[in-house]
Each structure stands twice: as structure tokens, then as C-alpha cells.
Amino acid sequence: MTTFFLPEELIHEAIADFTTEAERALAIYQATPARQRTPDERAAITELKRDLKAYARVADYWAAGVYPRAIDGIWEVASLSERGTQHHIWRENNRWACDCKAAGRGYFHVHQAMMAVIERALELAESHGLEAADTSADAYECYTPAPKRRYGYFTLPILWRGQIVGRLDPKAHRKEGRFEVKTLHLEPGLPADDALVHDLAAALREFAAWHATPEIAVQWSDPPALAARLNVALARNA
């Protein structure tokens, strides 16, 4: 069994990197007078403010002496919100996944920020010549210019029967009660059988219900036919 910790200074450097990037982006958007901002600009400001709060919360973990420990590739982080609870973050098929046990109580975004921080810290470890886990996973794209993104602004991994089978880019339109899956990619060569479509539709309904957005639509998928099949399954069980 191989066990190692990410050095504390790399965690802080990663948090500082993301915080600086978000603050710079926020300053650019806020330079436009409030009355002149487009809906997309206002939405971006809201997202960036939420990101900054999430990174501050992640920083609270490390300030409390809670550092991520990897045991054979599974990162373990003690929860500050639930005493005695451990949250696990791992990589499978070059993708991040997280059990996110506190997701239903408002900590989902924080755990996504935590994964981004670990990703950046691993990259920093590699650049400093330190031995660390594989860092070949796709980059976190929320601060990547839209034309250069591969999978979407806030791509999430899809964990199914113990394996990462794809990724999706969701958007909850809470005021409209609408949950949009902008893009959904399956892993190359993975068959989209009936069991996967059934379980994925069920997971999307649960995810959308948590956001109080009962209307669900999958806009685009790879393979292309998957979006239509999911929309049929979602409509059938609406």
C-alpha cells in the first residue's frame, strides 16, 4: 500500500492560483456598470462569487489541519461539517470522482473546488519535480476561454457501477425550474445500453430534484443518439 500526502505549501499555492484567477475574471466582469451587464455577464459574476466562497471553504479545511491523504490513489479528506466522516476523492480512467457524502446538504460545489485544488497541486508537484499521482486528466475548464474548452464550463464525472463512464456539463436554471445538460460524453467505445440509459436518467432526475428544477433536457451527447434516448427516458418517468 502506497500512502502519501500533498505538501501543505502546494495546497496553499493551488488555492491561491484559483482564487487569483477568479478574482481577476470577476474584476473584468464588474468593470462593466451593473445596468449595462448582459444576462451572461451577470450569471458569470454569480458563478465567480460562488467559486471564491468555495475556495475559501477549501482553505478552511487546510487551515484546520485537514490535508488530503492518498492511499493507493484514493484521496481521503476529513469533513469539517460532519464529525468523524471521511470524504473520498479518487481517479479512475484518468477522471476524478468523489463520494460527496455532504452533497445533499449544500457542500457539492465545495467538493468540486477541492478536486480542482488537488488537481492543480498535483500539477505543481510535477513541475517541482516531486513524485505524485498521475496528472494526465483533462484540465479543469471553468477558467478556460469558451472556444478552447473540450467538455464544458463545469464538467462532472459520471460514476456508474464502480467505473467512470463519462462526463457531463450541467446547468440548473432555478428561476425557470429547468435543468439543462449542455453536453454529455461517454468514454470512447463504451456501449450506451438500456441499463446505463435507465440509471443515468434516474440519476439526472435526482440531481435535478435537488436543484428544484423538474424540467430536464439533454441538449447534446457523444454518441449522438444518447441524448434522444435519455430525453425519452426522462419524459417517460417524469
**What confidence score (pLDDT) does residue 114 get?**
75
Identify which has the larger pLDDT, 196 or 68: 196
Average pLDDT over residues 94-110: 53
**What confidence score (pLDDT) does residue 42 get?**
93
Under 8 Å between Cβ of 200 and 190? no
pLDDT band at 107, cuts 50/70/90? low
Q: Give the whole-angstrom CA distance, residue 167 versus residue 63.
A: 32
pLDDT band at 120, cuts 50/70/90? confident
Instruction: Decide if pLDDT at 23 tops 90.
Output: yes
Q: Give the whole-angstrom CA distance, residue 232 versus residue 79.
A: 39
Average pLDDT over residues 86-107: 53
Q: Helix (H, G, I), strand (E, B), or coil: what is residue 223?
A: coil
Identify which has the larger pLDDT, 204 or 155: 204
Residue count of the chain, please give it: 238
Weakest mean pLDDT among 8-22, 80-94, 138-152, 174-188: 80-94
Render the burial of 107-141: b for 16+ CB within 10 Å, e for the rest.
Answer: bbbbbbbbbbbbbbbbbbbeeeeeebbebebebbb
Residue 1: which residues within 8 A CB-CB, separation 6 or more? 71, 72
Under 8 Å between Cβ of 30 and 41? no
Under 8 Å between Cβ of 157 and 96? yes
C-beta atoms surrounding 236 within 10 Å:
8
pLDDT band at 105, cuts 50/70/90? very low
Q: Give the whole-angstrom CA distance, residue 27 versus residue 74.
A: 36
**What confidence score (pLDDT) does residue 184 get?**
95
Domains observed in the chain: 1-139 (no CATH), 151-238 (3.40.630)
pLDDT tens, 56-75?
888 887 776 655 555 445 55
Dihedral angle sign, alpha carbons of residues 88, 199, 229, 190: positive
pLDDT band at 48, cuts 50/70/90? very high
**What confidence score (pLDDT) does residue 106 get?**
47
